[in-house]
Structures are given as C-alpha cells and as structure tokens.
C-alpha cells in the first residue's frame, strides 16, 4: 500500500520526537563561518553526547576548544522546545552577548526547519524565542538573579569556568530546577579549585561520593578530523604550551591565570599537607602542627577581616629559621577578641614577632595588642622602605614608624612574588589544606593577583606577608640560622620599648648583634640589602 504524504510526515515527526540525533542530522541546519548554511552532520562523538543529554538530566562537559558543543546544546534545546510543551530553556554565559550567540543558533535552526516541523512562534528577537506551545529559550548574562525568577526546564551554562559569580548563580538556579529540570554545564578548564573544577571532580567521584552530574570529557582527539599534527600546531598558534594543554587536552593543571601552578601545589599536597596535631578553640579553627619549641624563633602574621560576613580573620605561625608553617587560624571573630587571641598565641610561641596588617579595621586589633602591653610587635616605616639601610634609621625614631604591616601597591606584588618564589623553590613547608585550597583559586585578574569571585584569599595574603617579612627581616647568609637566633635573643627583651620589627636593645648599637661563633659583634646592615 502506497503511503500518502500525510502518513510519511507523521512517521517522520514521530521519529524526530523520539530521537534528537535523527532530528538534528536530517532536519537541522547550521551557519558555518566559511561554508555558510550547511546541514548539521553530526560526528560520532556528538551523537553519543546528544544521547547522553537525553538520558541524563544533569551533564557536565569538560571539553577541548571548537568541538561544536555549544551548537549541539542549541540543537538539543530546540528539540526539547518543539516536541515538548511549556519547556523553559535558559542560556547563561559570561556576557549576555555570548549567551545570545547560543540563542541565535537555536533561531537559525528553527528558521530553516521544514514547515511541517515548525511550531508557530509568538516571540522571536535577539534574546529569546517563544513558541505557541509554551516553550521558550532566553539568553541572560550570568548573575545571581539570572535563574531565580521562574522555573527552568533546562539550564545551559556555556564556558562555566570563566564565570566569576557562577557559584551564586548555580545556587539560585538549583531552586528553579528542583521541579524536574536539568542542566548542561560546558567549559574548557580554567584553573583549579573554582566552582567548575570542584563540580567536575565531584562528578567524577561517582554516585556515592559525587553529585548528580554525569561527567563527559572531550579532549581534542575525539574529533575525527584532528591528528597529532593539528595538536602540534596548537602549541604554535596559541603561543604557550600550557595554554594549548588547557584548550586542547582538558588539562586543569596548566589552565587559568593561576598565580601558583598546579604542579607545585600537587607536590605540596603529596608531600607536606597533613592533619593538624590539634584543633583548638570553640570553633576548632586554630590548627596546630608543631607545639612551641623554646629553642626556636617564630613569627605570627595576621590578616584582620574587613568586617563583612564573607571575610575571615586569619593568621599563620611560622618557624622563621626553617620557613615551616606550624600553626594557622581562619575564622570569624571580633577584632578585639582577635587581638587577645594573637597575644596569647604569640606569648606561647616564645614571644613571637607579631605582624598584623594595619589596613582599616586592623587597627582595632593592633590597638588591643598595644593595650595588652605586648612588646614584640612589628612596626613599618611610614615611607614604606624596608629593604635598605634607612629601615634602621627610621626604626629608632617612633615618629617615622607605624604599628603593623602596611600593605600598599608597592608591597602587595612583592609579597605575592616572594610567596611564588618560595613555592617554586620548594623553600617553604606548608601543612594546611585550607591554605592550599585558597592558593588554587588565587588568580591574576586585570594584572592583580586576587581570589576568584566567591572565594577568599585571607590565608594566602597573610602567608605572603610572612614570606616577605622573612625574606627582608630574617634573611641570612651561611651563618644565617645561628645569626638569626642571636638576633632574636637580642631583640625580645621586654625591658625596652619596641619601636620596630626587631625592637632592638637601645642600649646597644642597633646595627650590631652578638655572634656566638665569632665571639664578638656582627654588623647586620647586610640583612636589609638582600
């Protein structure tokens, strides 16, 4: 029996409704940058991914560049809208223009469908496409409110690793997806420790240990038209093998504008990161790895919270002789109480040199320390010069000094650079998993090193100050350890007024210390010229 045209169309419609791969391969057209309008001929890996989208409501895709996954997601969104009623698809990206690009791909496919597949549209503009069956897609830039207003059937987030506030956006979206929606998260890697990296690692953890996302990894070689010669050219075209590894190999370890390379952090994770010996305090946020050794010298470097709910007060206890982290605190605490805590810990650790950043609210903590009469408090020259002989000339004059450490546009990059050098040289021992986590999300942004949006850098910045202080104030030569001990022995007496970081005995020449190995005095001006 010969089938009439209506019967054929009905069969085709059913096939398309049941199989998005069939629908896309046979009836969807895309705009090729060189060849213009062409049929969407899916590669085998794209067919597999499309099937996974259909079978799993939550998908996270770690991908190489230029694999057509945004176009594939657009086609899947169109299939969902045409063959299902009242589906609300939301496309999010770093900018509205990027999200709009995905919507435009949906619109192009829609406009080039045969008439019998089309559903009449009620709205068709640059930012949205709305069909008469109640389904729609709209483009929005990512912000915390982008997915909050209405129930979403499918959320597509493109280049998720590059979105600063993605954590807040996802938190808002989860409420709208709770009614039965799904999500497709797409991105090349961009740094470690951020939301996308965490979601990917959790997804790889499996059903028991992970989240609800199905992890789909698509490195460069899944594309049938790419060979090793293509991959080798990317190193040249992108100008940096690390960037090529990010863009082509799906390599998190080389990705992003990270301050601390992941290979170094992986070394520390495997070598030094350990659980603390004890966790003190009601909040158990004071971690101790080594108790005070009264034969050693310590510095405590503190960063005071700005006062908002997102910031933490933090400090590190540093063995200044071997550059080892022996203690750490990170918590939300009143500024005055923080000052009392610092005095108690500093006293316990041999009257440690107490270095407190003096920006804004930090003065409340510093004043508490001064009121308690703690003597070994670090002072900064008002001129900001701590790397020349002028430090000591200013140091003996209280009018030229200010309590605490002054973070400025000059000292900030130097502090971070000292931390970088210590990590690269493996010249510092870090025990804290909390500090390592912050380092993973510490990135370059517009030439400034700072935490990714939604993350903290309190531990990183205070530890950076510690590396700077140690390098400028405690740097030593071949007799360094013994020299430092001698220096400290001469600078911790509570019988004298402390004017600077060393608080030297003002009855002596402040530039000369006793060296037990030479049997006489030794000039320490060299410390400030290193």
Residue 362: band (very low, low, confident or very high) from pLDDT cuts 50, 70, 90 = confident
Mean pLDDT computed over every residue of the chain: 81
Would 185 be classed as within a structural domain? yes
Would 348 be classed as within a structural domain? yes
Same domain membership, residue 123 and residue 154: yes
Angle CA(352)–CA(353)–CA(355) in degrees, nearest 5? 130
Same domain membership, residue 304 and residue 246: no
Q: Which two tokens stand for residue 51?
A: 């099937």
More confident residue, 363 or 275: 275
What whole-number distance in Å separates Cα of residue 24 and Cα of residue 61?
Answer: 20
More confident residue, 256 or 382: 382
What whole-number distance in Å separates Cα of residue 98 and Cα of residue 91?
Answer: 9
In this structure, the strands spanning 324-331 and 286-288 are: antiparallel
Same domain membership, residue 280 and residue 389: yes
- pLDDT for residue 499: 33
Map tokens 């929005």 to a residue: 140
Give per-residue burial for 439-470: e unless 16+ CB within 10 Å, then b: bbbbbeeeeebbbbbbbbbbbbbbbbbbbbbb
What whole-number distance in Å separates Cα of residue 433 and Cα of residue 435?
Answer: 5
Same domain membership, residue 294 and residue 249: no
Same domain membership, residue 454 and residue 408: yes
- pLDDT for residue 398: 55
Would 354 be classed as within a structural domain? yes
Would 418 be classed as within a structural domain? yes
**Which one of 223, 256, 289 terminates a domain?**
256
Would 268 be classed as within a structural domain? no
Map tokens 């650079």 to a residue: 417
Would 265 be classed as within a structural domain? no
- The CATH number linked to 388 is 3.30.420.240
Same domain membership, residue 334 and residue 221: no
Q: What are the CB-based long-range contacts (under 8 Å, 24+) for 110-114?
A: 110/78, 112/28, 112/29, 112/37, 113/27, 113/28, 114/27
Digit-coded pLDDT (tens) for 235-264: 888 877 777 888 888 877 666 677 887 778
CB of 293 within 8 A of CB of 287? no
The whole-number average pLDDT for the span 133-138 is: 93
Would 59 be classed as within a structural domain? yes
CB of 402 within 8 A of CB of 382? yes
Same domain membership, residue 240 and residue 327: no
Same domain membership, residue 292 and residue 238: no
Contacts for 296 with CB less than 8 Å, ≥ 6 apart: 319, 321, 350
**Which one of 225, 256, 287 terminates a domain?**
256
Strands (DSSP E) found in 26-86: 29-32, 36-39, 58-63
Digit-coded pLDDT (tens) for 328-341: 999 999 999 999 99
Same domain membership, residue 291 and residue 214: no
Same domain membership, residue 143 and residue 285: no
Would 269 be classed as within a structural domain? no
Instruction: Supply the range of the domain harboring residue 521.
Output: 276-529
Tell me how many domains the chain contains. 2
Same domain membership, residue 420 and residue 283: yes
User: Which range (47-51, 447-451, 501-505) has the least confidence?
Assistant: 501-505
Same domain membership, residue 216 and residue 310: no
**Which one of 196, 226, 256 terminates a domain?**
256
- pLDDT for residue 47: 94
- The CATH number linked to 134 is 3.40.50.300
The whole-model pTM stands at 0.61
Residue 480: band (very low, low, confident or very high) from pLDDT cuts 50, 70, 90 = very low
Digit-coded pLDDT (tens) for 141-179: 776 565 566 688 999 999 888 887 788 888 877 777 777
CB of 299 within 8 A of CB of 466? yes
Digit-coded pLDDT (tens) for 45-76: 999 999 999 999 999 999 998 899 999 999 99
């Amino acid at each position: 029996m010969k089938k009439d045209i209506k019967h054929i169309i009905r069969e085709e419609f059913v096939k398309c409704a049941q199989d998005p791969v069939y629908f896309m391969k046979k009836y969807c057209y895309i705009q090729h940058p060189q060849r213009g309008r062409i049929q969407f001929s899916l590669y085998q890996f794209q067919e597999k991914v499309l099937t996974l989208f259909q079978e799993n409501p939550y998908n996270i895709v770690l991908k190489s560049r230029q694999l057509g996954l945004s176009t594939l997601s657009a086609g899947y969104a169109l299939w969902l809208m045409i063959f299902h009623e009242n589906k609300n698809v939301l496309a999010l990206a770093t900018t509205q223009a990027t999200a709009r690009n995905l919507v435009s791909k949906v619109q192009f496919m829609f406009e080039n469908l045969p008439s019998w597949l089309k559903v009449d549209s009620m709205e068709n503009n640059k930012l949205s496409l709305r069909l008469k069956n109640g389904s729609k897609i709209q483009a929005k830039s990512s912000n915390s409110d982008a997915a909050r207003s209405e129930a979403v059937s499918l959320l597509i987030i493109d280049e998720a690793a590059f979105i600063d506030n993605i954590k807040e956006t996802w938190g808002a979206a989860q409420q709208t997806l709770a009614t039965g929606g799904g999500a497709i998260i797409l991105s090349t890697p961009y740094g470690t420790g951020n939301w996308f990296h965490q979601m990917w690692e959790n997804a790889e953890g499996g059903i028991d240990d992970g989240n609800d996302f199905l992890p789909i990894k698509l490195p460069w070689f899944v594309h049938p038209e790419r060979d090793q010669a293509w991959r080798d050219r990317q190193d040249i075209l992108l100008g940096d093998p690390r960037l090529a590894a990010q863009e082509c190999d799906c390599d998190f370890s080389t990705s992003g504008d990270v301050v601390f390379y992941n290979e170094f952090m992986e070394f520390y994770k495997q070598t030094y990161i350990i659980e603390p010996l004890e966790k003190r305090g009601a909040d158990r946020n004071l971690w101790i790895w080594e108790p005070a050794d009264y034969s050693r010298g310590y510095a405590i470097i503190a960063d005071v919270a700005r006062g908002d709910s997102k910031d933490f007060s933090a400090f590190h206890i540093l063995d200044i002789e071997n550059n080892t982290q022996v203690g750490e605190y990170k918590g939300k605490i009143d500024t005055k109480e923080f000052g009392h805590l610092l005095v108690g810990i500093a006293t316990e650790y041999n009257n440690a040199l107490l270095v407190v950043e003096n920006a804004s609210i930090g003065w409340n903590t510093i004043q508490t320390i001064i009121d308690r009469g703690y003597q070994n408090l670090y002072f900064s020259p008002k001129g900001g010069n701590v790397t020349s002989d002028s430090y000591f000339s200013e140091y003996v004059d209280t009018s030229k000094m200010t309590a605490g450490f002054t973070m400025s546009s000059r000292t900030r990059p130097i502090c971070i650079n000292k931390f970088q050098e210590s990590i690269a040289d493996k010249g510092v021992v870090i025990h804290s998993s909390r500090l390592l986590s912050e380092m993973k999300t510490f990135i370059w942004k517009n030439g400034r090193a700072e935490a990714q949006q939604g993350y903290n850098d309190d531990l990183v910045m205070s530890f950076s100050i510690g590396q700077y202080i140690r390098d400028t104030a405690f740097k030593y030569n071949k007799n360094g350890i013994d020299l430092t001990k001698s220096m400290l022995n001469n600078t911790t007496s509570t019988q004298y007024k402390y004017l600077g970081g060393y608080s030297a005995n003002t009855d002596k020449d402040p530039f000369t210390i006793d060296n037990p190995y030479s049997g006489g005095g030794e000039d320490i001006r060299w410390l400030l010229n290193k």
